[in-house]
Each structure stands twice: as structure tokens, then as C-alpha cells.
Chain A
Amino acid sequence: MINRLTDALSFQTEALVLRSERQRLISGNIANADTPGYVARDFDFAQALREATAAAPATGADAGAGAGARRASAVLRYAAPSQTNLDGNSVDMDRERAAFADNSVKYEATLRFINGSVRTMLDAMRSHHGG
């Protein structure tokens, strides 16, 4: 029974976890902006979310473990350097900053979606008492 309540949130939960994963990757790229030989990494968010939510047996106790395994298999891609660098570093600071800002906003948006769904459910529960 409680699954029906949480199922509505599971998509947003996957999205939130992937967003935080991407935030960590981008911050790693920004941290290594001056490291010789470092290659910037990122993953395709849409594809990762599709893989995380597609084959989702979202019911049952092993749903969490399954999601973790699927997330781990998200393919990391190396960013193609836009300008060649003598020390072999391919971090494009403009691109990383833009991706970072974009990801932060979308993380917050996902949070608000979750909060909205939770509020909707709470309202639905309360309406019985009120009216």
C-alpha cells in the first residue's frame, strides 16, 4: 500500500541522485582545473536517467540496491577538449562553470518537484478531516 505513495516519487528520486552524482563529477573537474594530464569527465544525464528508470522493478525490498547497481553502470565520458593545452589538461572552465550552474538549478528544481508531490499527498490525506 505504501508503495503506491512512494512510486510517484521514485522517478524524481532517481533524478535527484543522478543530479548529485553529476554535481560531484563537475566539482571534481573544477578542482582539477590546474592538474596536468587531467581529462574532464561527464555523463549523459538523459540517458542515465532513462537507464535508471526503465528496467525499474520499483516494488519490493531490492529496489534500492537495484537502483544503485544501475547508477554505477552509468557511462562516464571524456570531454573533448575545445582548446588544446600543453599540459594535457582538458578542463574547459567556462563549460564546467556553465554545467555546474545548470546542474545546481536543476537539482533544486527536482527538489521542488518532490516537495510539491509530498505536499499534494499531504493535502490529499488531510482533506478527509477538513471537508
Chain B
Amino acid sequence: MSMFKVFDISGSAASAQSQRLNTVASNLANADTVAGPDGKAYKARQVVFQTELMGAGGALGADGSAGVRVTTVREDDTPGRRVHDPKHPGADADGYVTYSNVSAIEEMVNMISASRSYQNNIEVMNTAKGLLLKTLQMGQ
């Protein structure tokens, strides 16, 4: 019964989206973090999605169910913004404070997109569940 695989597919996608949401939460929490004594500030992290083939053959054939998995969590290497604030305890020798390179706007957009995709997958699972329950009552 191929409909049962819908739960694997949508479940993997929901899990991947929730990891994306976790990353966004971590980024937003660290949006105003300044560099520590080592001079390195927090770097924004992004998850990278990849199609995960769940079919028996593993190829994109007739049975190639396409789930999602997170392959890597990439760190954004753009330099963080520097603010001149000599009185700040985190200021370097020139009086500059290095903040993290998190862009709050980008993260908010990312959050909304992840949340919508998560909801979509949950809805797909609910529909599949309803249809399967009705299939169980077939002939009654």
C-alpha cells in the first residue's frame, strides 16, 4: 500500500523543516551577540536540504518516493557588522565592536517559509490519514 509511504515522506519533510526552524531560532537568538575575546562573533547558520530517495530501488523510478533530509548546516562567512563603540566591554583595540552577521529580516522570511512548509506537510499527513481510515472501512 503506497499510501503509507506518505507518512515517511511528509514526516521526513516536517522533520527537516523543524530543523530549519530550529536554526532560525538559534540565529535570531544570537542576532545581537558580540564577538568574544577571540574576536569571532556568532555566524548565521543555514540548513541545506536534499532529496532522499526512499523507494526500494533507490532510483527515480516508479517507486522512487522522494523524502527530504538535511545534509549540512552551513555557516554564513560574510563578516559581521562592526560598530564603533569604544566604551563597550567587547570593543577591540580600535574601539570597534563586531556583531554577529545575522540578518533579522532574512531570518524572519526564512521562519515564515519554514512554518508554512511544515504546516503543508502536516496537512498532507492528515489527509492521508483520513483517506486510509476510510479505506479501512471499505465494504462495511
- B residues less than 8 Å from A74 (CB atoms): 62
* Chain A nearest CB, measured from B47 CB (Å): 9
The answer to the question of A82 belonging to the interface, with a C-beta cut-off of 8 Å to chain B, is no
Which among A16, A27, A97 is the interface contact of B9 at CB below 8 angstroms?
A: A27
* Chain B nearest CB, measured from A11 CB (Å): 15
The answer to the question of B31 belonging to the interface, with a C-beta cut-off of 8 Å to chain A, is no
Overall SS of chain A's interface: helix
Size band of the interface chain A makes with B: 20 to 34
Which among B48, B63, B120, B127 is the interface contact of A33 at CB below 8 angstroms?
A: B120
Q: How many residues of B contact A (CB 8 A)?
A: 37
Q: Are A34 and B3 in contact (CB under 8 A)?
A: no
* Chain B nearest CB, measured from A19 CB (Å): 9
The answer to the question of B103 belonging to the interface, with a C-beta cut-off of 8 Å to chain A, is no
The answer to the question of B87 belonging to the interface, with a C-beta cut-off of 8 Å to chain A, is no
Interface on B for A, CB 8 Å cutoff? 1-3, 5-6, 9-10, 12-13, 17, 20, 48-51, 60-63, 65-68, 113-114, 117, 120-121, 124, 127-128, 131, 134-135, 138-140
Nearest 5 interchain pairs by C-beta: A31-B13, A28-B66, A20-B3, A35-B49, A118-B139
Interface on A for B, CB 8 Å cutoff? 16-17, 20-21, 23-24, 27-38, 41, 71-74, 76, 93, 97, 100, 104, 107-108, 111, 114-115, 118
